[in-house]
Chains A and B, each alone.
Chain A
């Protein structure tokens, strides 16, 4: 099945990918993000937060974006 994946790691990615049917959000994260820590990211499917065990569907849009972006004065 085909998904749209958006993430900013590596070279950055916003394109369609093919994954096997039944792939879960957690499996896709592991496959694409390697040893990245999931809690450092907001993972959404079709713009909605999702549980790790959610099965992805053909045509889904997955975004993996950074969290806790903060700055402070010296």
Chain B
């Protein structure tokens, strides 16, 4: 999202995935590109350098060359005819590929396409995986901090609504971070 919002133009890159989970994007790598408000085009030589560099880093092509990510400047994440043409021409010969589009408003579109066997394609949900570790992640210290400072009194409590009605409130429900896995969902 930082890269999407840094400039006014579209921006794109490749998703770099876990070795074991090829749909788990752990990094996004930009390549040299020319962009406008409504268009993004990667530099061909930069793409070749990206492939060379990733192989030198010990990654397999399926970890870095299958998930094409780009943004749309408006609120519509649906692929354009140009997007579809690129997805077919560039990614149509690999065993599988994903086209992921992030609109400026946060809406997303992701489609997984299998190009071998009984060819098929599916729109797939997009979500952030909070279970993954990252630089600066220190769950043991966080746990200690939580246990030192937070002292729950009740598992459930009563909430007074604006209308004056008293309703049960499930304190364990993940209501704040409810996952939105629908097409066009917000992330």
Contact = CB atoms under 8 A, between A and B. Distances in A.
SS class, residues of chain A in contact with chain B: strand
Interface size classification for chain B: 35 or more
Most B CB contacts (10 A, CB to CB) among A8, A13, A63, A67 go to: A8
B149 interface: no
A53 to B, nearest CB: 20
A66 interface: yes
Nearest to B45: A42
A74 to B, nearest CB: 4
SS class, residues of chain B in contact with chain A: mixed
B83 A71 contact: yes
Contacts of B95: 10-12
Interface residues of A, number: 27
A65 B83 CA distance: 18
A71 B86 contact: yes
Given A12-B62, A66-B89, 14 more contacts: A6-B51, A8-B61, A8-B94, A42-B45, A44-B48, A47-B48, A49-B45, A65-B44, A65-B51, A68-B90, A69-B90, A71-B101, A72-B38, A72-B40
26 contacts: A6-B52, A6-B55, A9-B93, A9-B94, A11-B94, A12-B66, A12-B95, A14-B55, A36-B93, A40-B89, A42-B45, A47-B48, A63-B52, A65-B48, A66-B89, A66-B90, A67-B47, A68-B44, A69-B47, A71-B10, A71-B80, A71-B101, A72-B80, A72-B83, A73-B72, A74-B72
